[in-house]
Structure 1
């Protein structure tokens, strides 16, 4: 993977100091020197088979880091006696677990009990973003895996698709993110899809009016009504033409400025005074969006991490040791 187009020094200036004290760049250079290459090669193979893995891993990383921190708690399988975060409603559609398993197996064969599952998720997401056309960036590593995975935590913490802009900014702000980070992270929707259950009210019965959301383009609303008339319907969150649901670019921001946001929060950030200026900047400058997205991803990957003697290095990402 090529070196990031902006220097590590620039990242250091933007990431909060505590995270940098806990994590290190090239953490595995001595203990498992081929770790990042192994991750990259397996992600590349998966991407060749299924380019939508970029969206899947980005979502997995987000859902893991914002619940109990980046500790791979989302990867834990439930048992007959104990539920896990996988049982939480917002996580039912999270996927990509098999790829994480494949990477973990390869790393355990070469460097037993060395590379954490939380680092695997972070590295794999970084590689998938780049393969999808997103920025190339470096991430510090050294995370350890957590001991807790409860569905209640995910249900209570993860934001719904109808969250307000104020609520969204507060959600990210509580984790050290500013408005530029927050809007950039929502830009990951450029490669995502959503099931009709997340937006059908906007095209059929917005806020109980029996009418579509007036903030949505009428042509799009009509098309989505037809989509959601079929069981299991879904739509690409990036509705720019031509539709590029697996291409990581800034067309998403231009689309929501044209009232073609699928999720309510996507549409709101284009019109709310607190975020609309940032949306315009990203819509106008693809490189600016990608650069800020990379910075935000490094910040997100450092949220409430376990390092040093805290946590553990799982031998199986789906179960505590």
Structure 2
């Protein structure tokens, strides 16, 4: 009986100290230290999205790319200073933008609660709002992350997936992060928002369009991307509803209307095809599995406790 009591006490201590014992992250981490933090993030994101609807896909991509390089630690926001080489100049981070939205949120929170809310947390909370405010699920993001003091273009080059990633590599990436294959396919549903530049899929267009691509789409994309000098500028919609977070992406890729290689392959690979079909048929199932995958990814290799720092400005280390 004595041992059981001790174990119960330890569990209860863990619960009250760290929410659900998820590595130091907890729900409502800023409830006392900065009670309006999450509301500020929501309001700022709503304002930015109303003036520029491209904010949502940009911030969602920013969150994923931050987590892919050494974990969700705000490294992607650090600029070229103090001998650092920023991740954003990596060729795999082409098109990353809207960092200023995170900086504006941080500035507001610094006025309210100095050196309290981390940039790493702001990114994940802002991504949650990007999904929710465009019609997707509202996800209970755990907070308590701290910011890294390092960043590296080389590490971004090595750790970020390529635009033509295969299903095999896709599976390895999510397995490494303890994300199930079903949840990983759901996370690909983030392509429901936004666009892709020609440079990321033009290899599927010439000399002839990829036979796995719908012929009408192939011809359309050849017209859009025919000027090779504009491949960094020209783009196409990821799916038919680029400003709504919905399951249209899965419906489209099942019909051969996926832009990227991975879009086409997950719709045909026997390991992933059934999940794509299920999500195309059932929006709620997609939302549930996306939430699961997103939250697991957002908790990947976070800095907590005394590790890292709480940056005063997301672009620079404190010292």
TM-score (norm 2): 0.90
Output aligned runs, 1:276-315, within 5 Å: 276-315=273-312
Structure (1 or 2) with the larger CA radius of gyration: 2
User: Does the aligned pair in 2 maintain the 1:51–1:132 contact within 8 Å?
Assistant: no
Give the C-alpha shift of residue 92 in structure 1: 2.9
Output aligned runs, 1:253-272, within 5 Å: 253-272=250-269
Residue 225 of structure 1, aligned match among 214, 222, 235: 222
Partner of 2:181 in structure 1?
179
Superimposed CA distance per residue, residues 21-49 of structure 1 (whole angstroms, 9 cap, x where no aligned partner): 42000000000011111111101101111
Superimposed CA distance per residue, residues 166-197 of structure 1 (whole angstroms, 9 cap, x where no aligned partner): 11010111011111111111110011211101
User: Does the aligned pair in 1 maintain the 2:148–2:308 contact within 8 Å?
Assistant: yes
SS of the residue 1:189 aligns to: helix
Output aligned runs, 1:1-321, within 5 Å: 20-79=22-81, 81-204=83-206, 210-230=207-227, 231=230, 232-238=233-239, 243-321=240-318
User: Does the aligned pair in 1 maintain the 2:56–2:130 contact within 8 Å?
Assistant: yes
SS of the residue 2:65 aligns to: helix
User: Does the aligned pair in 1 maintain the 2:266–2:272 contact within 8 Å?
Assistant: yes
CA distance in 2, matches of 1:92, 1:180: 27
Q: 1:38 to 1:80 in 2, by over 3 A?
A: closer
Greater Cα shift, 137-146 or 74-83: 74-83
Give the C-alpha shift of residue 211 in structure 1: 1.9
User: Does the aligned pair in 2 maintain the 1:75–1:97 contact within 8 Å?
Assistant: yes
Give the C-alpha shift of residue 68 in structure 1: 0.9
User: Does the aligned pair in 1 maintain the 2:136–2:245 contact within 8 Å?
Assistant: yes
Q: 1:158 to 1:222 in 2, by over 3 A?
A: same
SS of the residue 2:236 aligns to: strand
CA distance in 1, matches of 2:287, 2:132: 10
Structure 1 runs not aligned, ≥5 long: 1-16, 205-209
SS of the residue 2:267 aligns to: helix
TM-score (norm 1): 0.90
Q: CA RMSD in A?
A: 1.4
User: Does the aligned pair in 1 maintain the 2:84–2:150 contact within 8 Å?
Assistant: no
